Amino acid sequence: MALASVPHGCVLAQPDDYAAARIRMVQLQLEGAGRDVRDPRVLQAMAEVPRHEFVPPPLREYAYSDSALPIGFGQTISQPYVVAFMTERLEPKPSDRVLEIGTGSGYQAAVLSKLVAEVYTIEIVEPLGRRAEADLRRLGFDNVRVRIGDGYRGWPEAAPFDAIILTSAVSEVPQPLIGQLKDGGRLIAPLGPSSYQELYLLKKRGEKLERQAILPVRFVPMTGEVLKGAPP
Ligand code: SAH
C-alpha cells in the first residue's frame, strides 16, 4: 500500500507525501498500539487537517512526527496525539460552539472547526494570533474566530459555550471560564505546576463541577492575568 512508501523521518516534499504521512500518523499515533483515540469523526478530522501548514516551514518535514514542535515565541504546537485526545474528550457535536484559550499555531482550532459549528479562540501573543488567523483564513477554516488578548476572562459576548479547551497550563481554571460554560458543558485544561501537569476533564452539572484527571501532560504555562498574585 502507498503508505509504506513513506518511511518515518524522510523528507516530505510532495503534497501527496503529506497526505500519506497524515494517514500513517492517524493509524500509528492515534489508533495504534498503546493509543486510544477511537471517535471516527475525530480520526477523520485529524486525517484531513494539514498539520504541516501550521508548523514553521523549516520544521515541515517533522509535521507528522509523534511530538510537539516549536512555533516561535517560546510556544509549541501540541503533539498530534494530545490534540486528538483532548478533542475526543471534549465530545464535539456538530451544533456546538467551542472556546479555545491559547490559539498558538491555530492547529487545534482547525481540528475542532471540522467537528463543531463555531470555534472562538484567543491568543495573548499578537504575532502568533495574527499568523494563525491568516493561516486559518487561507486554508478555509471559516468558522473559526480569532481574538488577540488575554483569555483569562474568556469571550463573554459569545458565551455560553458547549465546550472550553485550555491549551496552556494553569494551577486552577479561571473562574470566568467556568461561568461561560453551559450546563452540561465540558472543559479540558492542563492543571498543575509549570514542569508537569495532569489534563483534567471538568463537566458542569447544575451548580456542580465534576472533575476527573485523564492524562499526564506537559504544556507551556498560561501568562497574563492568571499570574497576578501567583507565587514567582
Ligand atoms: N493550541 C495551540 C497550542 C498552543 S500553545 C496549537 O494548536 O498550536 C499555548 C498557547 O497559549 C501559546 O500560544 C500561548 O501564547 C497562549 N497563551 C498563554 N497564556 C495565554 C492567555 N492568558 N490567553 C491567551 N493565550 C494564552
Tell me the per-residue pLDDT of 152-191, one tens digit each, with 9 for 90 and over. 999 999 999 999 999 999 999 999 999 999 999 999 999 9
Measure CA 43 to chain center. 14
Domain ranges of the chain: 15-223
Q: pLDDT exceeding 90 applies to what percent of the chain?
A: 88
User: With a 6 A CB cut-off, is 152 part of the ligand 1 pocket?
Assistant: yes
C-alpha 193/C-alpha 214 separation (Å) is 16
CA of 25 to the centre of ligand 1 (A): 24
Q: Whose CA is nearest to atom 10 of ligand 1?
A: 102
Average confidence (pLDDT) over 203-223: 94
User: With a 6 A CB cut-off, is 113 part of the ligand 1 pocket?
Assistant: no
How many residues are listed for the chain in this entry? 232
Q: Is residue 78 among the annotated active site residues?
A: yes
| The C-alpha cell that represents 75 in the structure block | 510556544
User: With a 6 A CB cut-off, is 120 part of the ligand 1 pocket?
Assistant: no
Q: How confident is the model at residue 195 (pLDDT cuts 50, 70, 90)?
A: confident
pTM given for the model: 0.93
Give the strands of the sheet with 118-123, arranged side by side.
144-148, 118-123, 97-101, 161-166, 181-191, 197-205, 208-217
User: With a 6 A CB cut-off, is 125 part of the ligand 1 pocket?
Assistant: yes
**Closest approach atom of ligand 1 to CA 152:** 22
pLDDT digits (tens, 9 = 90+) for 112-122: 999 999 999 99
**Closest approach atom of ligand 1 to CA 223:** 19
CATH architecture for segment(s) 15-223:
3-Layer(aba) Sandwich (3.40)
CA of 168 to the centre of ligand 1 (A): 6
